[in-house]
Structure 1
Amino acid sequence: MRLRRRGLASINSEIRDGIMPAADTIARVAKDPDARPHTPSNYRITALIIACALFMEQMDSTVLATALPTMARDFGVPATSMSSALTSYLLALAIFIPASGRLADRFGSRTIFRAAILIFVGGSMLCGQATSLPFMMGARFLQGLGGAMMIPIGRLVLLRSVAKEDMVQAMSWLIMPALIGPILGPPVGGAIVTYLDWRWIFYLNVPIGLLGVVLVTRFIGEVREDKPARFDVPGFILSGVSLGCLLFGFEMTSRTGELSRAVMLIAVGLVAGVAYIRHAKRRSDPILDLSLMRIPTFRLSVIGGSLTRITQGAQPFLLPMMLQLGFGMTAAASGAITIAGAIGSLAMKSLAPRVLRRFGFRNSLIVGGLCASSGYAVAGLFRPDWPVPAIFGVLMLSGFFMSFQFSAYNTIAYDEIPSSRMSSATSFYATFQQLMLSLGICVGAASLHVGMLGTGATRPALTDFTLAFLVVTAVSASATIWNRRFAKDAGAELSGHKA
């Protein structure tokens, strides 16, 4: 029992943005950990194949953020409008992640994983051919469709093929490339934009993806459920319409002359959301189970984590743009600075278990949340005369504390979830995870737009970036209200802390 608990805690502690494990598999492992097939001798190969797909997805997103100002110039649109290219990708993740596990159970994990890589590669090729912002948005959405299936099902494959005694080692092999991607992404993206062409950002995914398809075909086994769960088609449609309209409605509020369309989309999203809530109450297996919010630790983790992710979603959009448009830096110089947050995140991973064991989830979340928010608020005060080491240090500390928050939220969320509901809980949490990251981009872009309206400028000034950073960090700081509501002994069994 001790080994089983440790294995689940290890899995949960490593859940990060974009790499949520497949829900149905965790539920099965929680019910009967011995039901997992015996570890094959090449489980490290399996983990590395999946890690390569994860590396491709993580690096792509961080590289793109560095290239946004240059892409905006080529498309002939304001730099703030490029938030749509990020939002469309995250929107696809939010819509399709809940469906990924059930598709794998019905058609086979290898089949869907391989198809997901091909879809991601196809979307990448279309992104490289984009000549306008709408074209790029559509291609990024296709990329997101592949990513929504690729990452959760990749984790599903690993959980199905690794025995519990090897799970910690397998997860280490899987997670490290995911942490390296955000570190390499900004400098690689900056170098590509400065010395080559931003389109090569997407073309790099083609050989990696094709190699992944060959390796998946050779080394990954086909596993499917004999009696897959019934797919909630009405719920999938209603939730997709609601999420899509709300996200793009909020994103359009940051554009000049689009307010009426934005209001219409938000209204449609709210109506579809209400319709989904009524549908979910009548169905025993809804695609997003809202009744989970009655569980205290899950509810607090969803709310506090959502507020925190708004800031995290806005930061990769605001920071490269501020360094390039406000400071006059090249994309390469900007990328060399923005890796600081990823380095801080990597440093946090080895310290998080000891911090939680010493101080517990409640106190750690309160202090860590305030430190992370303060760090990103200071980032809004950056000016060209700041020493680069000082900027780098602030961003590294901010990344450290923000990554700690996500690790803590993602672990304690499942503390009170019964094994029979683990599937629904992970789908629900993963969807909101991506939704709030998308909303963060919208909030950051809208804040920039408001600042520009106040001065009548067509290009954001440093004061506009300051306003945007303060707005998004105020949102994450408000999570302290919810962090204080955790019980003092919440998650004690996971952390080993004694209140």
Structure 2
Amino acid sequence: MSQDLTGGRQIAIACVIACAFLMQGIDTTLLTIAIPTIAPDLGVSSLMMHFAVTAYLLGLAVFMPVSGWFADRFGSRRVFAAAITVFVLGSVLAGLSPTLSAMVAARLLQGFGGALMTPVGRLIVLRTFGPDRVLDGMTWLTIPVLIGPLLGPLMGAIIVTSFDWRWIFFVNVPLCALTLALTRWLIPYEPAPGAGRFDWGGFALAGLALVLFQLAVEHLGHPLFAGAFGTLFLLGAALAVFQLYRRHARRHPSPALDLRLFRLRPFATGVIAGGIGRVGLNSLAFLLPVMFQLGMGMSPIRAGVYASAAALGAFAAKPLLRRMIRTFGYAAVISCLAVAGSLLLAGFALFDPAMAGLIVAPYVVASGAVKTMHFNAVNTLTYSGVPAPELSRSVATAGVFQQLSMGLGISLGAAFLALVSGGAEALTMRDFSLVFLIMAVIPLLSLPVLARLGQEAGRVAAKAPEPEPARA
């Protein structure tokens, strides 16, 4: 495709894909800042609203493995357009939801659209620019990943302050319509290359294991049956189904999730150590907006401004990462970032309603910088040692675990809040402080895994662009 397109057309196509990525980046951050406003209207606690966030991330994790097969079977442009349609349909249904249960179902549908949109959009850009200009193409896709978290909290705060909160889901409609029109106009049609048989059995087993694991984590803070025994039962069921999948994957020539990639030390370290770090650091996506409003008594606008400050840290930190990795190596950089993230999480335990904005804003900026550098360093490590023929499978497999760990961070943050508050409707700063201290321990658990990182991966230069996860 790249040989038939002018440079201007290639950039225009990248901008179309970037619009879809921007829509995703704004969507979830719109929701998190609006949680304290939406919860009373739906008759639930603010802690229960985290289900609407994690449902989307679970939808991403479960359906991401099928995205490549859909693109090969039906054509990338057609699948990308369908993904946008499903995404905006889920968003509209979420805005119309009368109950939290209905919203969670709509967000799962939205996650299905997002699971197709992101990898297929990235595939279109890679084919548009060709192998010689991969970095140029990926650069366009990093822009919305940085801008989305900056605009999302501010837009969400303005909407819940001046309009009905349901508009946070309806603002996607005009951008989706524009992106669909530009997709049909700018992105050329390509015949589907054809796809072999997809591993539907493995896909079902892996998806069931992910859902059961997520339910086990949710059951920890919001038990539905048998208390702690119910949590252990769900966790045991998840592990049992995953073992069935492992046996299935060893026999299947092209499994839905290729666990054989874990034989590669950089990949295994990036997924495992990176996943542990994500669990701790991504809890900020839920805890900060809720703490600012319910713990520190901020207005949605003020909370949105502070939440957006984290994106400024991402802008500032991104140029530093490659130089740090080349100088000190992956293991040292990621270990230091894990420790720094842990210290910053613990520092939030010292926040109080009287704290001056001149302290709050720079601290949030620093947390955003460390979080972004950690995510990107881990992503680059994950793919640094993957052979070219296995790269597409590695993106799908790693993407599932990345989305799962990000959702797990939000779920654990909400679960621990429910446990330390005793289920009380009114949350105090003491509740948030205890949860931040608990979550601060989690990134440190990745250090033993990083310590085993072989020297062969310790100083791999950051030559490849970092595949960005969907932000929570």
Normalising TM by the smaller chain, what interval? Answer: over 0.9
Matched residue, 1:380 = 349
User: Is residue 68 from structure 1 mapped to residue 35 from structure 2 by the alignment?
Assistant: yes
Partner of 2:173: 206
Matched, 1:479 2:442: no
Does residue 90 in structure 1 map to residue 57 in structure 2? yes
Structure 1 segment 32-431 matched on structure 2, within 5 A: 37=3, 39-41=5-7, 42-255=9-222, 257-258=224-225, 259=227, 262-431=231-400
Q: How far apart in 2 are the matches of 1:234 and 1:387? A: 55
Q: Which moved more, 1:226-235 or 1:427-436?
A: 226-235
SS at match of 2:146: helix
Q: What per-residue deviation string (whole Å, max 9, x for no partner) do you get for residues 15-51 of structure 1?
A: xxxxxxxxxxxxxxxxxxxx96555331110000000
- Provide the rounded CA distance (Å) in 2 between the counterparts of 1:140 and 1:117: 14
Q: Contact 1:365–1:405 (CA<8 Å) still a contact in 2?
A: yes
Matched with 1:28 is: none
Query: Cα gap change, 1:353/1:400 in structure 2, threshold over 3 Å: closer, same or farther?
Result: same
Once the two structures are TM-superposed, the CA of residue 211 in structure 1 deviates from its matched residue by 1.0
Residues 1:55 and 1:81: Cα distance change in structure 2 (over 3 Å):
same
Q: Alignment identity in percent?
A: 37
Letter in 1 for 2:385: E
User: 1:342: how far off?
Assistant: 1.2
| Amino acid paired to 1:352 | L
**How many residue pairs align between the two structures?**
460
Structure 1 CA distance for aligned equivalents of residues 133 and 390 of structure 2: 25
Residues 309 and 365 of structure 2 are in contact (CA less than 8 Å); yes or no, is this contact kept in structure 1?
A: yes
Q: Is the 8 A contact 1:87 1:438 kept in 2?
A: yes
Q: What is the CA-CA distance between 1:376 and the residue it aligns to? A: 1.8
Work out whether residues 2 and 10 of structure 2, in 8 Å CA contact, stay in contact via their aligned partners in 1.
no
Using the TM superposition, give the Cα deviation of residue 128 of structure 1 relative to its aligned residue in structure 2, in angstroms: 0.9
215-224 vs 438-447, which moves further = 215-224
> 1:405: Cα distance to partner?
1.2
Residue 400 of structure 1: how far off its partner (Å): 0.8
Residues 326 and 462, structure 1, Cα contact 8 Å, conserved in 2: yes
- Residues 62, 210 of structure 2: 8 Å contact kept: yes
Q: Secondary structure of 2:313's match?
A: helix
What TM-score do you get using the length of structure 2 for normalisation?
0.93
User: Is 2:410 the counterpart of 1:441?
Assistant: yes
Q: What one-letter code is carried by the residue in structure 1 that aligns with 2:67? A: S
Which structure 2 segments of 5+ residues have no match? 464-472
The alpha-carbon deviation at position 262 of structure 1 amounts to 4.5
Answer yes or no: is the 8 Å Cα contact 1:67–1:193 preserved in 2. yes
Q: Which 4+ residue blocks in structure 1 deviate beyond 6 angstroms?
A: none
* 1:15 corresponding residue in structure 2: none
Matched, 1:460 2:415: no
Calculate the TM-score normalised by the size of structure 1. 0.88
Write the letter of the residue equivalent to 2:332.
N
Preserved CA contact (<8 Å) 1:88 1:137? yes
Unaligned runs of 5+ in 1: 1-34
CA contact (8 A) 1:338 1:395 kept: yes
C-alpha separation between the residues in 2 aligned to 1:166 and 1:419? 16
Secondary structure of the residue aligned to 2:351 is coil
With 85-94 and 216-225 compared, the bigger mean Cα shift is at 216-225
How much is the aligned-residue C-alpha RMSD, in angstroms? 1.8
Residue 490 of structure 1, aligned match among 457, 469, 472: 457
* Counterpart contact for 2:295–2:429, Cα < 8 Å: yes
CA shift at 1:264, angstroms?
Answer: 4.5
Tell me how far 1:256 sits from its aligned partner: 5.2
Structure 1: how far apart are the matches of 2:442 and 2:80? 36
Aligned counterparts of 1:134 and 1:261: Cα–Cα separation in 2: 21
Q: Show CA shifts across 1:112-148 (max 9, x none).
A: 0000000011111111111111011011111111111
Say which SS state the counterpart of residue 286 (structure 1) adopts. coil
Is residue 39–residue 49 contact of structure 2 (8 Å, CA) maintained in 1?
yes
Q: In 2, Cα distance between the equivalents of 1:38 and 1:168? A: 19
- What amino acid maps onto 1:80 in structure 2? L
Letter paired with 1:160: R
Residues in 2 aligned to 1:421 and 1:465: alpha-carbon distance in whole angstroms:
43
Equivalent residue number for residue 470 of structure 2: none
User: For the Cα contact (< 8 Å) 1:109–1:157, is it kept in 2?
Assistant: yes
Task: Using the TM superposition, name which of 143-152 and 409-418 deviates more.
Answer: 409-418
